[in-house]
Structures are given as C-alpha cells and as structure tokens.
Amino acid sequence: MLSNVSVMIRWVICMSIPVLIANVIPVYADEPIPIRKILENPQNYNLYTVTLKGRVQNLKIIPGPYFSEGSICFGAYTFTLKDKTGSLQAVVGGVCDRGEVKAAPEVSDGETILLEAVIQGPGYYVGPGLPTFGENRTTTQAFPTKIWHKEK
C-alpha cells in the first residue's frame, strides 16, 4: 500500500514533467497579432514580445554613426509595417562596436514579412539605443528581434 508521501511525490513528478518538457522544446512564433489590437491598447503590450505580419513600407536608413551606451553604432533603419488593420513603425537598431557597417537592411519596401518584436507604447523612454535615451515618445513602436521573409 502506498503512503500519502509516496502518492504526493508521484503526483509532483507527474505534474512537473510537462513543465520541464515545455522549457526544453523550442518555441516558435505565435500567431501574428493584428496591428489594430496593439494600437487600441498599447499599454497592454508595452515591453512584451509579439509576432506581427505585414508589408514593409517607407524604409528609411538612419545615417550613422549614432551613440548607444557609449558605443558607436551603424546600420540602423526604420520602416512602417502595415497589415489589413493598421500600421506601426518598426525600429531596427543596427550594429555597435564593429566599425562602420554598410550592410543593407534585412527588409525591402513592398516585401511581406513576419517579425517578432518588442512593443514600446507611448511614454518616456529610458533604455539604450534607438530611440534616444530620455525621449518622450508619442507613438507606439515595434523593435524587431527576429525577421522572417515570406517565401516567394
């Protein structure tokens, strides 16, 4: 006959296995969130990583160098990501401490992409890089961490 302690130990082990497996299996991009949903309630997504899908528009290269946390950085760019529900500015920070970089942006105007990005709602910005430290932003922006290109 099993004691209460043995039953409890088995229960804890059985309940822990799914958690352990979930932490080992790689996580892939979630379903894209409509941009409208983020714009309607930016504070609900502020500093969260989300997946977005849309068409790249208004690609603009930010002339280098710029400074971030004492480093010299190059290769930054911005673009507008547009889906059926709205549009959002995306800011890609570039490369720091590697000398001048003249690499082309990872995206091109008119291209449809899937991206993973950290959302930053309006407010006082206190982090490194772009936008500038201490900037009071009035718009919601996406800071891509991964970009996937739609297969042609």
What pLDDT does 13 receive? 56
The CATH number of the domain holding residue 91 is: 2.40.50.140
* pLDDT digits 0-9 by tens, 85-126: 999 999 988 777 766 666 678 899 999 999 999 999 887 665
Number of domains in the chain: 1
**Please, what is the average pLDDT of the chain?**
78
Range of the structural domain that residue 123 is part of = 28-149
Q: Is residue 142 domain-resident?
A: yes
Percentage of residues in the chain having pLDDT higher than 70 = 67
* pLDDT digits 0-9 by tens, 51-67: 999 999 999 988 877 77
Q: Is residue 118 domain-resident?
A: yes
Which string of DSSP letters, residue by residue, matches 38-87? HHH-HHHHTT-EEEEEEEEEEEEEPPSPEEETTEEEE--EEEEEEETTEE
Q: Is 86 left (phi over 0), alpha (psi -120 to 50) or beta?
A: left
Q: Is residue 75 domain-resident?
A: yes
Q: Is residue 22 domain-resident?
A: no
